[in-house]
A and B are shown apart, each in its own frame.
Chain A
Amino acid sequence: MKALVALLPAAVIAAACGAPATSSDEIAPVSGDPVRGERAYQKCYSCHGLEPGRNDIGGPTLHRIVGRRVAAEAGFDYSPALRKFAERSPSWTPELLDQLIADPEALVPGTSMTFTGITDEQERRDLIAFLQRGEPAP
């Protein structure tokens, strides 16, 4: 976690100053490998699409998730736990996404996500790099 945070100073500083990023364009690129990250995305694939507005498969779309506002995807019914989380963490910074992917239940107790997390830090970094790249689903 510390290593990833160190790679993301812009995002962390922005969040700390109360100025959360509002789009992936404003966040420094994550130093992961998006090609490997696409493989890691297979662990998200069953519940999360990459297409804009694809919110009918269990989880909300991950389209432009990096920097997106938390629990704000129109057309998806978020859990009370995530809506409450959004009150204190308004945007998905890379750091927050890293924490979520590492252990969803630890970051958002009561989340409706069933995924138990990715323990490998490099794999998480690769996944976030892939998501930040924002390419459409293959």
Chain B
Amino acid sequence: MRFFRNIVMAAAFLLAAPACAADPQKQQAGTQVFELPEGARVHDVAPAPNGSIWYTAQRQGALGILDPKTGKARQVPLGQGSAPHGVIQGPDGAAWITDSGLNAIVRFDPRGEKLTAWKLPEDVGYANLNTGAFDGNGIYWFTGQNGIYGRLDPATGDMRVFKDPDGRGPYGIAATPSGEIYYVSLAGSHLARIDRTSGKATIIEPPTPKQGARRVWADSKGNLWVSEFNSGNLSRYTPATNGWKSWRLPGAKPQAYAVYVDQSDMVWVSDFGANATLKFDPASEKWTTYPGSGEGANVRQILGRPGEVYLPESGTNRIMVIRTSGAA
């Protein structure tokens, strides 16, 4: 598989803007809201070194770096045509970005602030790259919503791309504590487990038909939590038993978009229908609601680190931080 590794450039700073805390009246106890540079349209977030937060500025083709201590944000442009979707921190401490505009995986190394891009092979075509995750061997796996998933070996640059058995739809992807990789398909309405050696995906059908599985995350026991956009359910798949259990989100017309499981195995799920993010306690089966900071907050992804949960609000262009030690 041929790969490109020649797009290496010193990162310039397109924008450096103070990110102000939003109206405190709107804030819930234990939360803080940061305004991002105008027009950024934040999509995904990830913990970054030194307590800062990375975010994809999808509409401005940049990786954002927010310092919650000062509230200042700056953005690193990713190249002409960039439209980054996902970002995670890799085991190497770098930001790994799925860039649908560039049709490439982009790595940002905070030491020296260099960018490296691996374009998808030409014969793959436009993939609408979505999300990435590292497996237990340090291989980066990614999804493309036009119907592909793939792997990239950071050590060699070797990239392989596979077709989803159901075609379009691969969206969220996650690694379990043991290093296995699962992804979900929004259009295919399925969960899939990837054989990391062969690359083959095995479909695991959730019990609700056409549920619109959008994102997935693993808890500490290796169970997979799935946010179902069409059904409004939060579902859990237990690999050891092949069993499923589903909970319908509260509210009249829930649309479960993003899901994340924190270090205490609390499950966080965003609901477009309620304009809120919910914390779900699997033990008590109770929900706690965190309203969006404004109308149509549209939290499309959730991530965090011990003691903090980050909610990127694409609709308000803000990041809400929930400090879980003080959260309800």
Contact = CB atoms under 8 A, between A and B. Distances in A.
Interface of A: 42-43, 45-47, 56-58, 77, 79-81, 105, 110, 112, 114, 116
A55 to B, nearest CB: 10
Main secondary structure of the interface of B (DSSP, over half): loop
A130 B244 CA distance: 42
Nearest to A104: B59
Given A57-B186, A110-B296, A114-B85, 14 more contacts: A42-B126, A43-B128, A45-B146, A46-B146, A47-B187, A56-B187, A57-B212, A58-B229, A80-B296, A105-B41, A105-B59, A110-B295, A110-B315, A116-B59
Contacts of B101: 116
Nearest to B253: A77
A56 B186 CA distance: 9
Contacts of B168: 45-46, 57
Contacts of B272: 112
Contacts of A56: 187, 189, 210, 212, 230
A114 B43 contact: yes
Nearest to A55: B230
Given A43-B126, A105-B41, A112 B146 contact: no
Nearest to A46: B145
Interface in B45-76: 58-59
21 contacts: A42-B126, A43-B128, A45-B146, A46-B128, A46-B145, A46-B147, A46-B168, A46-B187, A56-B189, A56-B212, A56-B230, A57-B186, A58-B187, A77-B253, A77-B255, A79-B296, A105-B59, A110-B295, A110-B296, A110-B315, A116-B59
Interface string B164-177: 00001100000000
Interface residues of B, number: 31
B187 A57 contact: yes
Contact of B186 (A58, A77, A81): A58
Given A46-B128, A46-B169, A105-B41, A114 B314 contact: yes
B298 interface: yes
Contacts of A110: 295-296, 315
A83 to B, nearest CB: 12
Nearest to B61: A116
B209 to A, nearest CB: 10
A58 B212 CA distance: 8
A46 B58 CA distance: 17
B300 interface: yes
Contacts of A58: 186-187, 212, 229
Contacts of B186: 57-58
Interface string B95-135: 00000010000000000000000000000011010000000
A125 to B, nearest CB: 18
A79 B275 CA distance: 11
B216 interface: no
Contacts of A105: 41, 59
6 A-B pairs with least C-beta separation: A46-B145, A57-B187, A42-B126, A46-B128, A116-B83, A110-B296
A112 B299 CA distance: 10
Nearest to A116: B83
Nearest to B147: A46
B249 to A, nearest CB: 14
Contacts of A43: 126, 128
